[in-house]
């Protein structure tokens, strides 16, 4: 099947998983790499690296009728997934707006409730669920034997379906060979703690959404009352990092790196609270917002 995108001719192999080498630009389409079809029929070989494993399963389904169950034992023991027909990620250099996005269901999760154990009610502070694993390591191997490693932080699960999306930017593939092309033969998945997780889908997509951060409201508080500050930020598929400073007078520094920060003020006065949200991969411009807190004696 052939179709034209402007002046670009793209050949789509319906029976396979990939499209042959093509130029991926800002208008590049979303390309499914794994979409829940039977891995055996799609030419996907599943195995382990070290004491980890990958097997097809119907235990957790996102798309189609299958997922890939992954068992890891750390950052160097996990799953290996190999393609009979290698996947072209890019053919004329990596597009900085292009990502490989994975959607995972984690068996091992934890609920974070920042206000648990306090006597106060905070309407804007809600519990959220995240994997027990805080980092994921991906290793991509090309058909030429080149390797690219990427470590990404995990984030909160999507409350609508309890799956977690995590994306690796193709900009990280500049280190591979001459950097002009990368045809993926296999990839490996690891986590920083032993985990069981399910790969529901995997795709190539474009994203140039800038970081957007909601403003922080000023407040008046009492000495030693616990204060919670919530970072409400979006950035498309990018993973985010947070840095809170609770008193600009002594210099801006990272006093807390959680999405929801907790702080006690021990002296009266006016304080400037500063939040900086940045791209974990350093590709998008960081955004800083601030507010004032009046602390009464």
CATH of the domain at 75: 2.60.120.260
Per-residue pLDDT of 189-233, as tens digits, reads 999 999 999 999 999 999 999 999 999 999 999 999 999 999 999
- Tell whether 60 and 171 lie within a shared domain: yes
- Tell whether 187 and 233 lie within a shared domain: no
Contact 132, 108 (CB under 8 A): yes
Largest CA distance in the chain: 73
- Tell whether 223 and 130 lie within a shared domain: no
pLDDT at 20: 40
- Tell whether 194 and 219 lie within a shared domain: no
- Tell whether 130 and 277 lie within a shared domain: no
Best CA proximity match to 202, nearest among 140, 110, 133: 140
pLDDT at 123: 63
Residue pLDDT tens, the chain, 297 long: 333 333 332 323 333 333 343 343 445 799 999 999 999 999 999 999 999 999 999 999 999 999 999 999 999 999 999 999 999 999 999 999 999 999 999 999 999 988 776 666 666 788 899 999 999 999 999 999 999 999 999 999 999 999 999 999 999 998 765 568 999 999 999 999 999 999 999 999 999 999 999 999 999 999 999 999 999 999 999 999 999 999 999 999 999 999 999 999 999 999 999 999 999 999 999 999 999 999 998
pLDDT at 121: 61
Of 175, 206, 237, the last residue of a domain is: 206
The CA distance from 228 to 242, in Å, is 14
The CA distance from 86 to 84, in Å, is 6
pLDDT at 297: 85
Of 151, 184, 206, the last residue of a domain is: 206
3-class SS of residue 170: helix
pLDDT at 177: 58
pLDDT at 119: 61
Task: Return phi, psi of residue 171, to 5°.
Answer: -60, -25
- Tell whether 27 and 59 lie within a shared domain: yes
8-state DSSP, 88: E
135, β-bridge pairs:
153
CATH of the domain at 227: 2.60.40.10
Contact 72, 190 (CB under 8 A): yes
pLDDT at 28: 77
- Tell whether 217 and 202 lie within a shared domain: no
Q: Within a 10 A sphere around the Cβ of 63, how many other Cβ atoms?
A: 15
pLDDT at 120: 61
**Residue environment code for 226-240, b if the CB has 16+ CB neighbours within 10 A, otherwise e:** bbebbbebebbbbbb
- Tell whether 148 and 265 lie within a shared domain: no
- Tell whether 230 and 196 lie within a shared domain: no
What residues contact residue 59 under an 8 Å CB cut-off, 6+ apart? 67, 69, 198
Of 153, 175, 206, the last residue of a domain is: 206
- Tell whether 17 and 39 lie within a shared domain: yes
pLDDT at 4: 30
- Tell whether 238 and 134 lie within a shared domain: no
Q: Within a 10 A sphere around the Cβ of 45, how many other Cβ atoms?
A: 13
pLDDT at 117: 63
- Tell whether 113 and 251 lie within a shared domain: no
Q: Domain span at residue 167? A: 2-206
Total domains in the fold of the chain: 2
Best CA proximity match to 136, nearest among 114, 166, 108: 166
């Amino acid at each position: 099947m052939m179709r034209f995108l402007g002046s670009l001719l793209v050949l789509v192999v319906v029976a396979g998983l990939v499209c042959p080498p093509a130029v991926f630009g800002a208008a590049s389409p979303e390309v499914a790499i794994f979409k829940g079809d039977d891995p055996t029929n799609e030419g996907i070989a599943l195995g382990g690296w070290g004491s980890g494993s990958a097997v097809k399963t119907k235990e957790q389904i996102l798309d189609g009728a299958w997922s890939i169950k992954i068992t890891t034992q750390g950052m160097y023991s996990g799953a290996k997934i190999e393609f009979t027909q290698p996947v072209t990620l890019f053919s004329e250099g990596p597009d900085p707006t292009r990502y490989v996005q994975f959607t995972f269901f984690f068996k091992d999760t934890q609920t974070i409730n920042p206000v648990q154990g306090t006597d106060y009610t905070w309407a804007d502070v809600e519990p959220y669920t995240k994997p027990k694993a805080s980092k994921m390591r991906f290793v991509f191997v090309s058909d030429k034997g080149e390797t690219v490693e990427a470590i990404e932080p995990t984030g909160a699960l999507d409350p609508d379906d309890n799956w977690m999306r995590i994306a690796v930017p193709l900009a990280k593939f500049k280190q591979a060979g001459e950097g002009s092309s990368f045809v993926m033969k296999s990839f490996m998945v690891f986590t920083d703690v032993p985990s069981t997780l399910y790969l529901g889908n995997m795709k190539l997509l474009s994203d140039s959404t800038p970081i957007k951060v909601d403003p922080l409201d000023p407040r008046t508080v009492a000495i030693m009352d616990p204060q919670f500050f919530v970072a409400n930020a979006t950035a498309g598929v990018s993973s985010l990092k947070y840095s809170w400073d609770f008193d600009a007078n002594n210099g801006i520094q990272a006093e807390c790196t959680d999405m929801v920060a907790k702080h006690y003020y021990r002296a009266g006065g006016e304080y400037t609270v500063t939040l900086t949200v940045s791209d974990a991969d350093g590709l998008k411009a960081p955004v800083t917002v601030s507010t004032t807190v009046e602390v009464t004696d």
